[in-house]
Structures are given as structure tokens and as C-alpha cells.
Amino acid sequence: MYGEWPESVPLSPQAARLVRIRQYVTYIPSRKSGAKVPDFFRFRWLPAGVLRLRWWPSLLCIRSIFCFVRALASTNKYLLRYKWHFLGGVLFVALSTLLAIFPAQIVRYAFDLVNEGIDLYHLFAGTRAQSSVYTLFGRNVLFYGILIVLMALLRGVFLFFMRQTLIVMSRRVENDQKNEIFQHYQSLPLSFYRRNSTGDLMARISEDVGRVRMYIGPAIMYFLQLVVLFVLIIPLMLMVNVKLTIYTLLPLPVLSISIFYVNTLIQRKSDEIQRSLSEMTTFVQEAFSGIRVLKSFVREQDSHRQFTAASENYKVKSLSLNFVNSLFFPLILFLVGLSTIITVWIGGQEVIRGTITTGSIAEFLIYVNLLTWPVTALGWTSSLVQRAEASQARINEFLHQQTDIVSRSNVVRDIEGDIVFDHVSFTYPDTGIQALRDVSFRIRPGQTLAIIGNTGSGKSTVAALLCRLYDTTRGHITVDGTDVRDYALPTLRDQIGYVPQDVFLFSDSIRNNINFGLDQPDEQRMQQAAKDANVYDNIVQFPEGFDTKLGERGITLSGGQKQRVSIARALVKEPSILILDDSLSAVDTNTENAILNSLQRIMAHRTSLIISHRVSSVKLANEILVLDDGQIVQHGTHDALMAQEDGLYRALYERQLQSEEA
Ligand SMILES: Nc1ncnc2c1ncn2[C@@H]1O[C@H](COP(=O)(O)OP(=O)(O)OP(=O)(O)O)[C@@H](O)[C@H]1O
Ligand SMILES: [Mg+2]
């Protein structure tokens, strides 16, 4: 967007600074061209701080609520979903506000009554009626007192329901939104995950959703409260005295704007602290997960130095936040105090002039008190809305991304496993690396095809394309004569048992890891799969057997054990197509042979694709493809390939034989 900045206009140092902190600058569509120009372009004469914080158009927050909420419009569907909560909230806000205003009027009556009572009391001095006057006024004041207490209690009840409706609504929306984002994430293709870091994905589903919640809950609640209060109180105040009203309200906009300013500052500093905290956490996490490397390279001192620096950074930022926080409440108290003094001062003059009674001063003081919090909250909520807007925009950016891996005609049927790669070429979209060039082969049901080749030759890419984790750039892949793009994705992937090259096991029990792909796990099937993957004996030796926990809180499996659990996870699905991507690299040759033998038995009527670096893993296959730089350079059986003296296969075989002997 900054590319649109006219080159002939050099950036002032001030503006350049603004460019750096661009997240605080909003864009306003230009009236003429419709193009978005940085807002500060029009207001360059204003000091940078003023521009950055953009408080000036937010007088009374109207713009914040209605104009900054372009991205937030996408949360309207949730408001509609919880409309009864919302409407209930509006009702309870109105009722609780009414019950806050009535007592102010009662106080005025009581005040004036007491004034008159004192006069009357003195008037009847020395007569018998004096004690009756005393009792009468005493009772009246008591009555008003009880009325005020009752209203306060009732107001408490309505305030409770106000939070129970509006804040509950915001929590539900938060929950719905998190679920929606999570589900959407899962639908996105692998390329999406390569482009965005896990930290970013996590931040949007937790931090950003949390900020949007602050808009749906507190911001809307306090805004409603403010509107109802203003609508009810201002006419009442004006009816009593116009001059006093104007003077009393005078400090309130200043209060609101100052709070907005200070709060934005607080939030910016909190963000910095958050970032510095997450840097520190990441550092600590890495230091301790890599503790083996750290200790063996004797880097403890260095690591300590780095931590001290990170922690110092955090301390400086926290102290700076604390400084601003310390300004917050004195500022509020000062402005509220100012309002009170003005009310008493101007009110006192009006009383002397006889335009109002002393009761009205008391009434006004209560109004000022009532208005203070919502007006303070206005400043606070404006910055909440601004942040929520930015967060929702970030969420929308992900939500609007669609997966291009969708089924063309949702074919659902049992797969036999006749796989054809027809002149397939593939280039990774984000890196532009061409991984496969014009690859063609066929595997008939029940047959085993092996792919061997140097590292980076495109073997794993073949597996990824078959599972349709990516779509081919050219050529097509068919399974049982149907293009993979026509199968419903769950149908296709459900019938493929894929053992990826980088083994990933969840921090859960071994049982749950093996049964991961099944909706209804079966004990017998699981044990058989573990036996076929040659890992059963290892598992039963653990004290808790299949219930042994893996991961951080549990035991750590050896590389070979992990690979075999991962194979068992694919076998238990009883797939029509089995893909082993270098899944035997960490097991010894005996275990490898045992696994390959059991695979031959169980895959007799199914199709297998075995990818490996090692000749020992592939030699039993019906056919072997030799890949080099994305192209098939040789194919045939082990014996046929061995017969080709100057072929890559024979070279690989001899290289491996030598290294084994060495
Ligand atoms: N997700 C990806 N995005 C972009 N490029 C990739 C991706 N995965 C692999 N590549 C590139 O594609 C080429 C083929 O990679 P591939 O993983 O298919 O090789 P391989 O034969 O499986 O290698 P190895 O034996 O080391 O597993 C490599 O040059 C690699 O850098
Ligand atoms: Mg690979």
C-alpha cells in the first residue's frame, strides 16, 4: 500500500516514523479515485503522536463505533445469532440506567424537603406542633431512603442480568468464532501452512478473537449504557438549568479523549510487552527442548546472557507501562473532581440567584457521578473498537482464503487401487521448484511399486500428489480410472494409508496414536497392526503397554519405534493403497525384512508404494522406479536394474554395499 506513495513527495522524518508504525494508521478511501490513501497525508501538519493515535475524529466515539467497523461488520452474523441476548442486554441496560437516575431525583426531593423541614421546624419553635413536624419529616426522609435502597437493589439485579446477557453473548461469539477459524484452518491446503507461521495462526485464533470479544462484549455494553444515560439524563439536566448543565458536562469530553489517548498508549505498550514476553518464552522453550545440544556444546553461559538480555528488555517495557498506568487514575480523578467543583461552584451561584434549589446541586452531583464511568469507558471502548477492528481484519484475511483443493464431482466409492500417473509434472507453488517432470507409471491392484532415488529427487512429492495434498501442475493422476480430483477428499484419503517421511506422533497414548484414523477403534485390529509393523513386542514391554503416554509428559520412543508406530497407524485402517515414505530408514535390516514380509501378506490384494533411499527396502517390489531430479531415469525389477551396469540403481546399490561393509 505504501507503494502508492508519490515518489515526488519525500517523506518527512515524522511521516517516515508513521510508516514504520503503520498498524496505527487507518486508511480512508479517497473521495475522487476511491484509492486508499494514508490518512495522515491530509493532516501532515499535525504532530505525529496526534496523528498516530487518531483521537481527533473520535470525539464521542461515534466514528469509532460506526466507521472503524468495516471489518467488524463480519461479526454481525453472530449478533444476529444471539439477537435475544443482545435485545435482552439492551432492555437490562435501559432498566438499570433508569433505576440509577430515579434516585438522583429522589435525593433532590429529599434535600429540598429537609431544607423546608428545617425552616418549618424553626417556625414552629416553642409550639407543640414542632415535634409533629419533626416526626412527619423524619418519616418522609426515611421513606425516600428506603426507596433509594430498594432501587439500588433492583438496579443491582438488572446489572447482573445485563452482564449475563451481553457478556455471555460475547463469550459465546468468541467460542463460535474460534471454532469457525479452527475449522477453516483445517480446510486450507498445505501451502497455506508454509506461508504462515504456527505462531501467527495461534495468535489469530486466541489473541485476535479475544480482542474482537472485547468489542462484542464490553464495548457494546458500555456504549449502550452511555447512549441510554445521555438520552435520559441530559434532558433532565437541561430542564433543571441549562447553564449548570453546560458547565457540568464541559470536562467530560476532555475526560473521554484523554482516556482514549492514555489507553491507546497503554495498549501499545502492553502489545510490546506481550511480544517481548513471547520472545522470552520462545527462547526458554527452545533452550530447554534443545537442552541436550546446549549442554553438550557448553553454551550455558551464553544462553544465560541471552536470557538476561531478554528479561531486561521485558523489565524496561513493564516499567514504562507502569509509568503510564500510574497516570491513568490520577487523570480520571482530576477531571471528575473538576466536574464536581464546577457543579458546586456554578450551582452555588445559581442557588444564590434563586434559579435552582440546593437539592438540584445534589442531583447534579449524582448525574456527574453516573456519567463519569460511561464517559471514561467511551475513551476506553474507542480504543477497544479500534483494536478489535484491526484484529477482525487479520482474522478475515485468513477466513477469506479458500482452498483450491476441492472435489470436482464428489465421487464416493470403494477403491481397488489401480493407480496411473499420466505425464505428471509438478512445481511447488510457493518456491517455484520443479519437483517432478513428466512422470508416468501404473501400479495395478495388489502390486508393489518402489521408488528409489537420491535426496531431493521428488519421491515424497509423488506421495503428496497421490494423497492430493497438492494438485498436479500438468498431467493427471487416476485411481481406478477416475481422476483424483473427482473423488470426494475424505473418500480418497480414507482409503490411503500414508506413512509420511517425517514421523509425527501426538502426545497421547500409543493406543490413541495407532487408532488415530479410526472412528471406532478395535482392540484386535490394533494389536494385529502393531504386530504387522513389528512393534508389538516393544510396546508390551512398556509398563503400561498400549496405554503408555508419548511425548513431553510420557516416554520418548526411539526413531525406529516411532516409525513402526506410524506404520501401524496406517495399517490399522486396512487401506486399499499403502504409501511408505522412507518409513524403514531408522530400522535395522532384519526388522526391515520382517516388516516387508508382513506387508507382502497383508497387501496381497492391495496396492503399495514404497519410497526409499535403500535398495534393501525396494528389491522385493514388483517394479522399481529410479527417480533423478524429478524424472524417471530407470524402471524395472531389481534383477533387471542390476543388470544395467552403468545405471543409477546399480550405482546406488554399490554405494550402499560399500558403506555397510565399512
Ligand atoms: N513443501 C515444499 N515446498 C516447496 N518445495 C518443496 C517442498 N517439498 C519439497 N520441495 C522441493 O522439491 C524437491 C523434491 O522434494 P522431495 O521431498 O519430493 O524429495 P525426496 O526425493 O523425497 O527427497 P528425500 O529423499 O530427501 O526425502 C526438492 O528440491 C525440495 O526442495
Ligand atoms: Mg522425501
Q: What is the pLDDT of residues 41-76, one digit of tens each?
A: 333 334 444 444 444 444 444 444 444 457 788 888
Residue 565 gets the label, from left (phi > 0), alpha (psi -120 to 50) or beta, of alpha
Ligand nearest to the CA of 613: 1
Residue 503 CA to ligand 2 center (angstroms) comes to 12
CATH number of the domain within which 446 lies: 3.40.50.300
* 69 located within any domain: no
The residues lining ligand 1, judged by C-beta closer than 6 Å to any ligand atom, are 194, 428, 430-431, 433, 435, 453, 455-461, 501, 582, 613
Q: Enter the pTM of the model.
A: 0.74
pLDDT at res. 512: 92
Instruction: Work out how many domains the chain is built from and give that number.
Output: 3
Mean pLDDT across 245-262: 84
Query: Which residues touch 486 (CB under 8 Å, ≥6 apart)?
Result: 407, 408, 409, 410, 411
Rg (C-alpha) for the chain, rounded Å, is: 37
- 643 Cα: distance to centroid of ligand 2 (angstroms): 26
Which range among 43-47, 345-349, 549-553 shows the weakest confidence by mean pLDDT? Answer: 43-47
**Closest ligand 1 atom number to CA of residue 436:** 14
Arithmetic mean of pLDDT, 99-119? 83
Beta-carbon contacts of 608 under 8 Å, excluding residues fewer than 6 positions away, are 447, 448, 449, 577, 578, 579, 580, 599
Best residue among 194, 459, 499, 582 to mutate for probing ligand 1's pocket (most ligand atoms within 8 Å of CB) is 459
Own/partner contacts of 357-361, CB < 8 Å, gap of 24 or more, are 357/108, 357/111, 357/112, 357/115, 358/111, 358/112, 358/115, 359/107, 359/108, 359/109, 359/110, 359/111, 359/112, 359/115, 360/108, 360/240, 360/241, 360/244
Nearest residue by C-alpha to atom 18 in ligand 1: 458
Q: Considering only CA atoms, which residue is closest to atom 23 of ligand 1? A: 456
Residue 165: inside a domain, yes or no? yes
Torsion of CA 516, 518, 521, 524, to 10 degrees: -90
* Residues 606, 363: Cα–Cα separation, whole Å: 86
If asked whether residues 130 and 26 sit together in one domain, one would say no
Give how far Cα 420 sits from Cα of 193, 407, 476, Å.
Answer: 29, 18, 8
Task: For the chain, give percent helix, strand, coil, nearest 5.
Answer: 65, 10, 25
Atom 6 of ligand 1, residue of closest alpha carbon: 428
CATH number of the domain where residue 190 is located: 1.20.1560.10
CB-based contacts of 653, cutoff 8 Å, min separation 6: 615, 642
Does residue 490 form part of some domain?
A: yes
Kindly identify the ligand whose nearest atom is closest to the C-alpha of 451: 1
Same domain for 393 and 429? no
Same domain, yes or no, for 370 and 495?
no
Site to probe by mutation for ligand 1, drawn from 433, 581, 618 as the one with most ligand atoms within 8 Å of Cβ, is 433
The DSSP call for residue 40 is G
On whether residue 424 sits in a domain, the answer given is yes
**Span from the CA of 434 to the centroid of ligand 1 (angstroms):** 9
The atom number, within ligand 1, closest to the CA of 627 reads 21
Residue 11 CB neighbour total at 10 angstroms: 13
Rounded distance from Cα 459 to ligand 1 centre (Å): 8
Same domain, 350 and 261: yes
Q: Is residue 49 part of a domain?
A: no
Ligand nearest to the CA of 459: 1
CA dihedral 648, 651, 657, 662 (to 10 degrees): -130
pLDDT of residue 287: 85
Give me the pLDDT at residue 647, please. 87
Position 68 in a domain: no
- Same domain for 493 and 625, yes or no, is yes
Q: Are residues 359 and 388 in the same domain?
A: yes
Last residue of a domain, one of 365, 399, 433: 399
Ligand 2 centre to CA of 613 (Å) is: 9
Residue identifier of the C-alpha nearest atom 25 of ligand 1 = 455
DSSP 604: T
Q: Across-strand partners of 550?
A: 555
Ligand 1: centre distance to CA 574 (Å): 28
Q: What is the pLDDT of residue 45?
A: 39
Residue 373, Cα to own-chain centre: how many angstroms?
Answer: 30
Provide the residue range defining the domain that includes 146. Answer: 75-399
Lowest average pLDDT, out of 28-32, 98-102, 393-397, goes to 28-32
User: Separation of 460 CA from ligand 1 center, angstroms?
Assistant: 7
The answer to whether residues 193 and 335 belong to one domain is: yes
Instruction: Verify that 147 and 29 share a domain, yes or no.
Output: no
Please give the distance, rounded to the nearest whole angstrom, from the Cα atom of residue 632 to the centre of ligand 1.
15
Average pLDDT (122-142) is 82
Alpha-carbon distance 108 to 121, whole Å?
19
pLDDT in tens, 580-622: 998 888 888 888 888 888 888 888 888 999 999 888 888 888 8
Which regions of 510-657 does DSSP assign to beta strands (E)?
A: 577-581, 607-612, 623-628, 631-636
CA–CA separation, 259 vs 252, rounded Å?
11
In a domain, 410, yes or no: no
Confidence band, pLDDT 50/70/90 cuts, at residue 26: very low
Residues 231-236 have a mean pLDDT of 88
- Nearest ligand to the CA of 193 is 1
Residue 61, pLDDT score? 43
pLDDT at 68 (0 to 100): 47
